């Protein structure tokens, strides 16, 4: 329940490092038993909790194994690290990514683990609630908190009864698809929305692209493309109007809307439609931690009775403890605080990356050349002048420790490297820019 | 990281109760601010951590709300409890269940929350790992630990590459179904397997019952029916042989196999088949906490290459923190210890319930009557002599605070009430038996 204080923390780290070194150096051999928690605590004159924390960390890292009622023993393969010794099915070893320009994770400093840990701990104290299966639709309190949140943040006005919680967008689509009785044709904006396309294909849908007459229209208006362009209100209204006249259902995947500039708050399609004809999808994985699987879907009123019939046959997929924690996290205002923080950070990092890249190219480019680097809403693009394929570039990037977000092409056939600053730590931006310049000038 | 000691715990509860009473009684009104953590700690001469724990619990229970940088304030609706004030879509109020004979939750005393909390806390310290999305197939280490576990416990010999992790059995079937290219006919043993039936129906399968010639045969050989009867080895071999000759795929849903008597360890179909023609499904929700969404699927070798192509399009659904925690939990031997414990407990409770029910009926039954109460592998059945419908009985049971597991019928048309002792606390078994006797003698 209580966190270790700073001085305890450093003690815990010292105990941890001490044994880790003993094991790494071979002084403690496979099968050797660590001194008991009590002995160690007495010897070093520190608390048993501190020693136990250190031992558990050693166990979590694979250095030792705990045998109940016996003690901690050095494992066969000391210094085992995540993924080490792993036979990947494809047979290749993973390259280490130093400069991560994908939008697939968030940088360490941006997330306050202590706050989240506090909420999870508090949730884990609710023994009674955790002993039973959750509600198929998701915890009522969380749905209530989310209803308040999406109303304020995205003008999605709904009742908790309209909200369905699930472990990711795909889980929600797997509940939604069997509920629809329309013609099995869905339109996606791009080929890159593999997640959604997979599920609709599984359910026998014909996949079209940019087909405004399809029975189901899947869009992400807050992030229309890799560059993070936002769909303007006029086009939103047009889309709603056309869909209503055709009787189509719109699925609004609003991911990363929270990262957009609050200076231009564009209402959601769900909000503009008055809650009819639009299914709204939101996710917390992006906002909090990608490893937290928690998304939600807001059903339009006309689908409610179908869901009441149908929804009870699907077990809830999201962790109940994480649902309880998230509910309190939102109620206490941390969600909004986090959005403000991440928005500020993301923009600052994108700007810094842009300037760092410009410095690199100013050094290298001949005068009079056209601009290669451009800053967009949520990313930076750099024009690629080599004839290399995407595969070649990905491979060369990996060799330099770089993972980029995507390669995109404009109408004139120019190709661009897309870099997101979401994952990268601010302090390595200058060297990251150097690495990118090396990659593109090879 | 450290737990509160017992004396701290009682202090924390006292602070919690104090403020709760102040709010309940109306002494502290809506909007009132609690004294700051520092003030309160100073005043009561206790640690700030203790006060903070109490405040956070008040917030978790909805009595107060924390405003960042400001303090804790009494909420508008004091004494809000889970589900209170809730407008259920069906419009009905929930009855309180005092005697839970369903197999839908586990009794409080059987689960050691402290151990599980410790592992979750340790997992939440792995900041770096939690910052990224997990592997679509599930964390490698957990798959490795599960491979060792199912080999030892269920003679399912497999490599971690064959294991797919997901947030429940339904999620796994949603990945499996699109991989199959057979005729779309599936056979289930009973109508009661709603979970699995729902998913196969969603994927356009024709649902048959007890059809041994179907292309896909879904079975739960460790729990063939409500009574928990186990499929004998001879029938298992027959089933495998017939399926092989027809080219059918068997899906072995091995739920609750862990609760069966270890005296009669019957090998899994997967093990008997040598890892071909059988998909094995296991779940940890039953064993640990129903609120933990963690199941796994072991693919037969012939489906591996299809999965490699296909599996990467599905995001992992299970919580990464819970995966990391479970992995270490298994490695440290807690899983096996837990199975031994739950088996012992479950059997002891079933026996006690049986004796308590017998005592009730001996008092009431006329001599010479045939036996009404029978103890089975995992439950107890009582013959129903009234002509009431299942709905009537369910309603009357609820009015007495009883939830039963099911009503089942034998070939001669006799009906039986099925009672599981999984959820019920040992100390209320005598009164629970009285309540059941009241229900059936009304």
| Cβ within 8 Å, pair B167-A317 | yes
Indicate if A200 and A152 belong to the same structural domain. Answer: yes
The verdict on A6 touching B (C-beta cutoff 8 Å) is no
pLDDT band at A23; cut points 50, 70, 90: confident
Of A130, A161, A333, the CB nearest to B68: A333
Q: How many domains does chain B have?
A: 3
Nearest CA in chain B to A166: B317
pLDDT for the residue numbered A33: 85
How many Å lie between the alpha carbon of B372 and the closest alpha carbon of chain A?
A: 30
pLDDT at A2: 40
Angle at A286 between CA A285 and CA A291, to 5 degrees: 40
Q: Would residue A93 count as lying in a domain?
A: no
- pLDDT given for residue B307 in this prediction: 96
Please identify, among B254, B283, B315, the residue that sits at the C-terminal boundary of a domain: B315
Of A161-165, A378-382, B90-94, B129-133, the poorest mean pLDDT is in: B90-94
pLDDT surpassing 90 at residue B96: no
Q: Give yes or no: residues A39 and A142 share one domain.
A: no
Q: Are A300 and A276 in contact (CB under 8 A)?
A: yes
Percent of chain A with pLDDT over 70: 90
The answer on B168 and B33 residing in a single domain is no
Cβ A202–B174 below 8 Å, yes or no?
yes
Contact in structure between A415 and A384 (CB atoms under 8 Å) = yes
Which residue of chain A has the CA closest to B81? Answer: A141
Residue after which a domain boundary falls, among A315, A330, A352: A315
A343, A309: one domain = no
Res B374 pLDDT > 50: yes
In a domain, B234, yes or no: yes
- CATH number of the domain enclosing A29: 1.10.10.10
Instruction: Answer with the residue of higher pLDDT: B27 or B210.
Output: B210
CA distance B186 to B197: 9
Mean pLDDT of B48-66: 77
- What value, to the nearest 5°, has the Cα angle with vertex A378 and ends A373 and A383? 25
Same domain, A289 and A175: yes
Nearest Cβ partner for B105 among A49, A56, A133: A133
Q: Which of A127, A133, A293 sits opposite B167 (nearest CB)?
A: A293
Chain A contact set for B104 (CB, 8 A): 132-133
CATH number, domain containing residue B426: 3.90.1150.10
Residue A412 inside a domain? The answer is yes
**Which of B74, B90, B116 is the last residue in one of the domains?**
B74
Position B378 scores a pLDDT of 77
> In this structure, are B103 and B140 located in the same domain?
no
pLDDT digits (tens, 9 = 90+) for A360-377: 887 766 555 567 888 887
CB < 8 Å to A133, chain B: 104-105, 285, 290-291
Q: How confident is the model at residue B442 (pLDDT cuts 50, 70, 90)?
A: low
Higher-scoring residue by pLDDT: A274, B145: B145
Does any domain span residue B194?
Answer: yes
Predicted pLDDT of residue B83:
40
Q: By the 8 A CB rule, do A201 and A193 touch?
A: no
| Residue B401 domain flag | yes
pLDDT of residue B81: 40
Q: Which pLDDT score, from 0 to 100, does residue A53 have?
A: 74
Q: Which residue of A has its CA nearest to B144?
A: A86
| Contacts with B168 from chain A: Cβ below 8 Å | 315, 317
Average pLDDT over every residue of A282-301: 89
CB-based contacts of A390, cutoff 8 Å, min separation 6: A407
Scanning every residue of chain B, which has its alpha carbon at the shortest distance from the alpha carbon of A53?
A: B1
User: B241 in a domain, yes or no?
Assistant: yes
User: What is the residue-averaged pLDDT of chain B?
Assistant: 84
For residues B344 and B364, what is the distance between their CA atoms, to the nearest angstrom?
31
Q: Of residues B412 and B227, which shows the higher confidence score?
A: B412
**B278 in the same domain as B311:** yes
- Model confidence band, residue A263 (pLDDT cutoffs 50, 70, 90): low
The 3-class secondary structure across chain B, one letter per residue, is CECCCHHHHHHHHHHHHHHHHHHHCCCCCCCCECCCHHHHHHHHCCCHHHHHHHHHHHHHCCCEEEECCCEEEECCCCCCCCCCCCCCCCCCCCCCCCEECCCCECCHHHCCHHHHHHHHHHHHCCHHHHCECCCCCCCHHHHHHHHHHHHHHHCCCCCHHHEEEECCHHHHHHHHHHHCCCCCEEEECCCCCHHHHHHHHHCCCEEEECCCCCCEEEECCCCCCCCCCCCCHHHHHHHHHHHHHHCCEEEEECCCHHHCCCCCCCCCHHHHHCCCCEEEEEECCCCCCCCCCCEEEECCHHHHHHHHHHHHHCCCCCCHHHHHHHHHHHHCCHHHHHHHHHHHHHHHHHHHHHHHHHHHHHHHCCCCCCCCEEECCCCEEEEECCCCCHHHHHHHHHHCCEECCEEEECCCCCEEEEECCCCCCHHHHHHHHHHHHHHHCC
Contact list in B for residue A87 (CB cut-off 8 A) is 161
Contact B285 A133 (CB under 8 A): yes
What pLDDT score does A264 carry? 59
Range of the domain at B49: 3-74
Residue B26 has pLDDT above 80, yes or no: no
Q: What is the mean pLDDT of residues B219-237?
A: 84
User: Does residue A184 belong to the interface with chain B, where contact is any CB pair within 8 Å?
Assistant: no
Tell me the mean pLDDT in the region A56-72. 77
pLDDT in tens, A306-361: 999 999 999 999 999 999 999 999 999 998 888 888 888 888 888 999 999 988 88
What is the predicted pLDDT for the residue at A49? 75
Looking at the predicted structure, is the pLDDT value of residue A89 above 60?
no
Is B324 an interface residue toward A (CB < 8 Å)?
A: yes
Q: Quick check: is B113 in a domain?
A: no
Say what the ipTM of the complex is: 0.73
Q: What is the pLDDT of residue A30?
A: 83
The reply to whether B161 touches chain A by the CB within 8 Å rule is yes
Nearest by CB: A53 against B1, B124, B321: B1
Same domain, B310 and B414: no
Q: Are A145 and A53 contained in the same domain?
A: no
Whether the CB of A317 is below 8 Å from some CB of chain B: the reply is yes
Closest by CA to A220, choosing from A185, A178, A259, A176, is: A259
Chain B residues touching A59 at Cβ < 8 A: 122, 328, 331-332
Cβ within 8 Å, pair A308-B89: yes
CATH code where residue A246 lies = 3.40.640.10
Q: If you ran DSSP here, which 8-state letter would residue A133 be given?
A: P
How many CA atoms lie less than 13 Å away from A216 in the CB half-sphere?
25
For chain B positions 271-290, those within 8 Å of chain A (CB to CB) are 285, 289-290
Beta strand B249-253 pairing with B278-283: parallel
Regarding predicted confidence, which is higher, A126 or B433? B433
Q: Which residue has the higher pLDDT, B6 or A308?
A: A308
pLDDT, position A207:
97
Beta-carbon separation of B132 and A104 below 8 A: yes
Using an 8 Å CB-CB cutoff, list chain A residues near B108.
127-128, 131
A394 touches chain B (CB under 8 A): no
Confidence class of residue B263 from pLDDT cuts 50, 70 and 90?
low
pLDDT tier at A28 (50, 70, 90 boundaries)? confident
| Identity of the highest mean pLDDT range in A10-19, B85-94, B283-292, B301-310 | B301-310
pLDDT band at A210, cuts 50/70/90?
very high
Distance, in Å, from the CA atom of A329 to the CA atom of A115, rounded to the nearest integer, reads 9
Question: Among A47, A131, A318, whose Cβ lies nearest the Cβ of B111?
Answer: A131
Q: Between chain A and chain B, how many beta carbons pairs sit less than 8 Å apart? A: 231
Looking at residue B306, its pLDDT comes to: 95
Q: pLDDT value at position A367?
A: 58
Angle at A165 between CA A214 and CA B78, to 5 degrees: 140
Q: Can you give the pLDDT at residue B1?
A: 35
Q: Which of B83, B134, B198 is the closest to A140 by Cβ? A: B83
The yes-or-no verdict on residue B379 having pLDDT over 90 is no
Given a cut of 80, whether residue A240 has pLDDT beyond it is yes
Confidence of residue B139 (pLDDT cuts 50, 70, 90): very high
Asked whether residue B378 falls in the same domain as residue B431, the answer is yes
Do A236 and A221 form a contact (C-beta atoms < 8 A)?
yes
By the 10 Å C-beta count (0-12 exposed, 13-18 middle, 19+ buried), B314 is classed as buried
The minimum CA-CA distance between A67 and chain B, rounded to whole Å, is 6
Please answer whether residues B297 and B163 qualify as being in contact, where contact means their C-beta atoms are separated by less than 8 angstroms: yes
- Residue A90 pLDDT greater than 70, yes or no: no
pLDDT average, residue stretch A98-126: 84
Query: Which of A431, A416, A426, A419 has the alpha carbon at shortest distance from A360?
Result: A431
Nearest to B398 by CA among B92, B194, B80: B92
Q: Which of residues 39-78 of A touch B (CB under 8 A)?
A: 47, 49, 53, 56-57, 59-60, 65-68
Q: What is the pLDDT of residue A209?
A: 96
Q: Are residues A153 and A272 in the same domain?
A: yes
The confidence score (pLDDT) of residue A325 equals 94
From the list B393, B206, B196, B379, the residue with the least C-alpha distance to B297 is B196
**Best mutation site among B6, B37, B60, B194 for testing chain A: the one with the most A CBs within 10 Å?**
B60
The pLDDT of residue A143: 96
pLDDT of A319-330, one tens digit each? 999 999 999 999
**pLDDT score recorded for residue B411:** 82
pLDDT at B251: 98
Q: How confident is the model at residue B367 (pLDDT cuts 50, 70, 90)?
A: low
Task: State residue B424's pLDDT score.
Answer: 87
CA-CA-CA-CA torsion sign (A78, B156, B105, B63): positive
Residue B84 pLDDT exceeds 60: no
User: Does residue B293 form part of some domain?
Assistant: yes
Question: Are both B11 and B145 inside the same structural domain?
Answer: no
Average pLDDT, chain A: 84
The predicted structure's pLDDT at residue A80: 39
CA nearest neighbour of B328 among A287, A57, A118: A57
């Amino acid at each position: 329940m209580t966190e270790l204080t700073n001085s305890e923390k450093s003690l815990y780290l010292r105990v941890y490092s001490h044994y880790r070194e003993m094991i790494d150096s071979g002084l403690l051999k496979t099968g050797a038993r660590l001194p008991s928690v009590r002995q160690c605590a007495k010897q070093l004159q520190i608390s048993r909790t501190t020693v136990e924390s250190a031992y558990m960390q050693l166990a979590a890292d694979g250095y030792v194994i705990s045998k109940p009622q016996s003690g901690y023993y050095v494992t066969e393969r000391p210094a085992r690290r995540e993924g080490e010794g792993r036979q990947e099915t494809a047979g290749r070893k993973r390259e280490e990514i130093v400069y991560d320009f994908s939008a697939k994770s968030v940088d360490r400093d941006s997330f306050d683990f202590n706050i989240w840990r506090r909420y999870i701990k508090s949730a884990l104290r609710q023994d009674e609630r955790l002993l039973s299966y959750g509600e198929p639709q998701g915890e009522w309190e969380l749905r209530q908190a989310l209803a308040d949140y999406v109303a304020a943040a995205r003008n999605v006005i709904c009742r908790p009864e309209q909200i369905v919680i699930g472990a990711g967008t795909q889980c929600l689509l797997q509940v939604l698809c069997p509920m629809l009785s329309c013609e099995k044709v869905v339109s996606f904006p791009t080929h890159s929305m593999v997640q959604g396309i997979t599920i609709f294909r599984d359910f026998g849908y014909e996949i079209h692209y940019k087909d405004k007459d399809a029975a189901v229209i899947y869009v992400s208006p807050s992030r229309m493309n890799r560059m993070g362009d936002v769909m303007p209100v006029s086009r939103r209204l047009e889309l709603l109007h056309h869909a209503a006249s055709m009787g189509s259902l719109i699925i609004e995947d609003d991911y990363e809307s929270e990262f957009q500039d609050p200076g231009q708050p564009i209402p959601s399609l769900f909000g503009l439609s008055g809650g009819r004809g639009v299914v709204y999808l939101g996710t917390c994985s992006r906002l909090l931690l990608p490893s937290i699987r928690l998304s939600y879907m807001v059903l339009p009123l006309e689908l409610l009775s179908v869901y009441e019939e149908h929804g009870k046959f699907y077990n809830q997929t999201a962790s109940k403890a994480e649902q309880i924690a998230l509910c309190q996290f939102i109620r206490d205002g941390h969600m909004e605080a986090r959005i403000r923080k991440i928005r500020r950070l993301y923009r600052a990092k994108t700007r810094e990356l842009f300037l760092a890249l410009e410095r690199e190219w100013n050094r290298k480019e001949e005068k009079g050349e056209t601009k290669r680097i451009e800053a967009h809403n949520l990313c930076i693009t750099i024009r690629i002048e080599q004839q290399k394929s995407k595969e070649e570039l990905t491979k060369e990037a990996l060799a330099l420790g770089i993972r980029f977000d995507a390669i995109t092409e404009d109408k004139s056939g120019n190709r661009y490297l897309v870099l997101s600053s979401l994952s990268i730590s601010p302090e390595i931006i200058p060297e990251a820019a150097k690495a990118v310049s090396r990659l593109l000038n090879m």
